[in-house]
Structure 1
Amino acid sequence: MKATLRRSTGALLASSLLLTIGRGATLPFMTIYLTRKYAMTVDTIGYAMTIALTIGVIFSLGFGILADKFDKKRYMLLAIAAFIAGFIAIPLVNSVTLVVLFFALINCSYSVFATVLKAWFSDALSSTEKARIFSLNYTILNIGWTVGPPLGTLLVMYSINLPFLLAAICAALPLVFIQRYVQRIVVADKENSPAAWDPTVLLHDKALMWFTCSGLLASFVGGSFASCISQYVLAIADSEFAEKVVAVILPVNAVIVVTLQYAVGRRLTASNLRPLMTFGTVCFVLGLLGFMYSGSNLIYWGLAAAVFTLGEVIYAPGEYMLIDNIAPPGMKASYFSAQALGWLGAAMNPMLTGQILTHLPSASLFMIMIAAIVMAWFLIQKGMRASRRKEIASL
């Protein structure tokens, strides 16, 4: 890797870490903020959070697709500026509606940054470097989520507004890093001439459709698993035991992701993607079965979380590689934006989990999730076959 490319990659990874720390320091405390300042009930807060997350994902699709028409470096700077504006505005307004809209802006701008970041890596890096950097970025995201919430906990003891200030400060540094150290990427300089920018291509790409639907189901299973587990334990036990379970599974998840994500992800290639995604699916299924039968044994909860996380460390870079393999040059951001629609599954998880636990036996939650991740694997196979047919037809 050239020195300029290495410096650009380092600056972008550092920016990804800082933005995630800021988001991690605020997102877990939004419920507390809405309760203290606006006296909202728990169910109302749940709807407000789901609305904000959903709006953010949907709008990020449009803005992410447009990123292919503009300089990606400048686009990331604009997304970060919007990210900062949202965090500055929330403590200053005195309206629940405005808070939800600014929170949606934060989620939209963060999603746009993450999408364009992946597109930049996809355009700039060689095929052997992409899996390694995608995995490294996912490891960094988990470090950010490990560091952010404790910082938010510390700051909220002094003022409910301080986490928002921390997020704005953390996001200000990436503005400097990206402006000074990140080089502009011209796709036309690559060996393959870029495809004409045409968003309608997304609607006709069957492989993309299958991979996006797979991502929707996979993010429902793995995207919000900590909150899902806490809701489940609250349904079968009490808040005291739920705190113990979360205190076990979160560190296990963080340790395994940080230690194994890079080592596993860098070995993903187009040739071994199918068997590894199959192995990841098996790990998800075994982990969910472990959760279902863990009962009051915290050791079993920890072991189940470890197996479940093995599926996560394979799926995270694997889904990026699936999209990168089918996205034509000049349309990378558009394809990654479409993939980001899959995060609607994670956004809907708390609400759907609550409905399942309210109207069905508690154990049925994990059976539904097992069915969802198996279906996600099946859709990946269909997407791979569609991609192979497309390649053959283009020869």
Structure 2
Amino acid sequence: MNQIKTYINQYQFHPIVWVLLLGTVMVRLASFMTLPFLAIYLSKTHDLHPVLIGVTVGISPLMGTIGGFVGGHLSDRYGRKPIMLIALFCLSLVFFGFSIASSPLLYVLLNALNGLCNSFFEPTSQALIADLTDKKNRMKAYSLRYTAINIGAAIGPLLGAYFASVSANSTFVITGSMYLIYAIALFFLLNMLVENKKVDSKNVISFLDAFNIVKRDKALRFLILGVILINIGYAQLESSLPQHLENSIINGVFIYSVLLSINAVFVVFFQIPISHFAEKFSPMKVMMVGAILLCAGLVGFSFVNGWVSAILSIVLLTIGEILIFPSNSLLIDQLADENMRGAYFGAGQFRKIGHFFGPIMGGALLSQYGGQWMFIIISFLSLGSILFFVLGNKVYLKQVVTSLKSL
């Protein structure tokens, strides 16, 4: 605990950065109260067909791949404040809508809006953190943000299970209320503490120009492709793993629930020390090591036969994600021009393609070849991310050398 206090006191962040970190805990806790149970809720309460449930759940990350770039670009052009606040108020309405929805089409529409609004808010908030934080402290800020996400992930499902036993609709109302409170608080604090900076009119670029610039950035493109492969593997944690454990070991469902808690708690307690050590190395090297560990965890799940092997596998996977995801944010920040930071973080949302296709690929392989071969195939596919990370690093280093020569 003293180490955490020393770490926090050593690096003074802008007050709004702390507000965003605390707000991340609050809204992620709220969303984890509801979204992990959405499929079960739709199945039991509305008796929807499994395919329709899959479409309803999968539409959110799919919309996120589209909306992230648009929201990031708009935040560059019109400022961070309006994009973030509009997204938060809309998310509040989305969850209130879930509480009164009755038709399958409405659930699909609401979860699509959920994915779209989140993809507007997430890259914009990351860009604002970068705007307000010195370069030397940005990795620490991204690491704390990732820790905040996992605090919500550790507590949210437990609260969700409790409130769902009382009233399923109440969880949606509580989540909507927490988003509304966060939006109102952020509205006043942003107006008091942060100037809404927009790109100078001389430097304003169109959406097409922004898309073409990112399209030409090979380093960013390689980074996104690598993280998509990582997310294909990581998505199995919530899709194929519970099915595999249920079919392969005794008390598989109970073991799975414990593994999720271990994953979240491990991130909360070890994110800071691991990230502090990782800062001694280049972000791309850190991501390569993370990819190896994450894939080792996936391979471990293919041979799981009880508690020991299951816990060892989730620990390896968790260390891998701790190394990969904050480093990914830092690399996007390093690649981005000052007036295009939002667009770059928005383009980073294309990683959610892996979250969309991962469960589909895992499910197909699971039904065709069984859990053991599914995890082996997916792990080797995810390991291919290292090739893209190496290529992206080479391109990035060339860009740095070229820019230094031009000075």
Shift of 1:266: 4.0
Please say if residues 15 and 177 of structure 1, whose CA atoms lie closer than 8 Å, have aligned partners that are also in contact.
no
Shift of 1:251: 2.2
* Aligned residue number for residue 5 of structure 2: none
- TM-score scaled by length of structure 2: 0.89
Shift of 1:272: 2.5
* Aligned residue number for residue 184 of structure 1: 195
* Aligned residue number for residue 397 of structure 2: 388
Please point out which of 59, 67, 76 is paired with 1:51.
59
Q: Structure 2 counterpart of 1:34, which letter?
A: L
1:367 aligns with 2:379: no
Cα pair distance change 1:292/1:5, threshold 3 Å: closer
Provide the rounded CA distance (Å) in 2 between the counterparts of 1:84 and 1:273.
35
Q: Structure 2 counterpart of 1:304, which letter?
A: S
Cα pair distance change 1:187/1:81, threshold 3 Å: closer
Q: Structure 1 counterpart of 2:364, which letter?
A: Q
Q: How many residues align?
A: 389
* Greater Cα shift, 49-58 or 203-212: 49-58
* Aligned residue number for residue 311 of structure 1: 320
* Aligned residue number for residue 166 of structure 1: 174
Provide the rounded CA distance (Å) in 2 between the counterparts of 1:135 and 1:253.
16
List aligned pairs for 1:70-109, cutoff 5 A. Answer: 70-109=78-117
Please say if residues 71 and 120 of structure 2, whose CA atoms lie closer than 8 Å, have aligned partners that are also in contact.
yes
Please say if residues 283 and 328 of structure 2, whose CA atoms lie closer than 8 Å, have aligned partners that are also in contact.
no
* Aligned residue number for residue 124 of structure 2: 116
Shift of 1:196: 5.3
List aligned pairs for 1:262-277, cutoff 5 A. Answer: 262-269=272-279, 271-277=281-287
* Aligned residue number for residue 136 of structure 1: 144
Provide the rounded CA distance (Å) in 1 between the counterparts of 2:161 and 2:377.
33
1:9 aligns with 2:21: no
Shift of 1:142: 0.5
Cα pair distance change 1:53/1:272, threshold 3 Å: closer
* Aligned residue number for residue 219 of structure 2: 207
* Greater Cα shift, 264-273 or 333-342: 264-273
Provide the rounded CA distance (Å) in 1 between the counterparts of 2:37 and 2:391.
40
List aligned pairs for 1:225-240, cutoff 5 A. Answer: 225-237=237-249
Please say if residues 64 and 337 of structure 1, whose CA atoms lie closer than 8 Å, have aligned partners that are also in contact.
yes
Provide the rounded CA distance (Å) in 2 between the counterparts of 1:314 and 1:195.
35
Shift of 1:254: 1.6
Provide the rounded CA distance (Å) in 1 between the counterparts of 2:196 and 2:273.
28
Q: Percent identity?
A: 23
Shift of 1:231: 2.2
Cα pair distance change 1:224/1:343, threshold 3 Å: farther
Could you say which structure has the higher helix fraction? 2
Q: Structure 2: state its 5+ residue gaps.
A: 1-8
* Aligned residue number for residue 6 of structure 2: none
Please point out which of 31, 35, 60 is paired with 1:27.
35
* Aligned residue number for residue 347 of structure 2: 338
- TM-score scaled by length of structure 1: 0.91
Provide the rounded CA distance (Å) in 2 between the counterparts of 1:217 and 1:149.
27
Shift of 1:268: 4.3
Please say if residues 196 and 330 of structure 1, whose CA atoms lie closer than 8 Å, have aligned partners that are also in contact.
no
* Aligned residue number for residue 379 of structure 1: 388
1:257 aligns with 2:267: yes
Shift of 1:235: 4.1
Shift of 1:315: 0.4
Provide the rounded CA distance (Å) in 2 between the counterparts of 1:84 and 1:156.
19
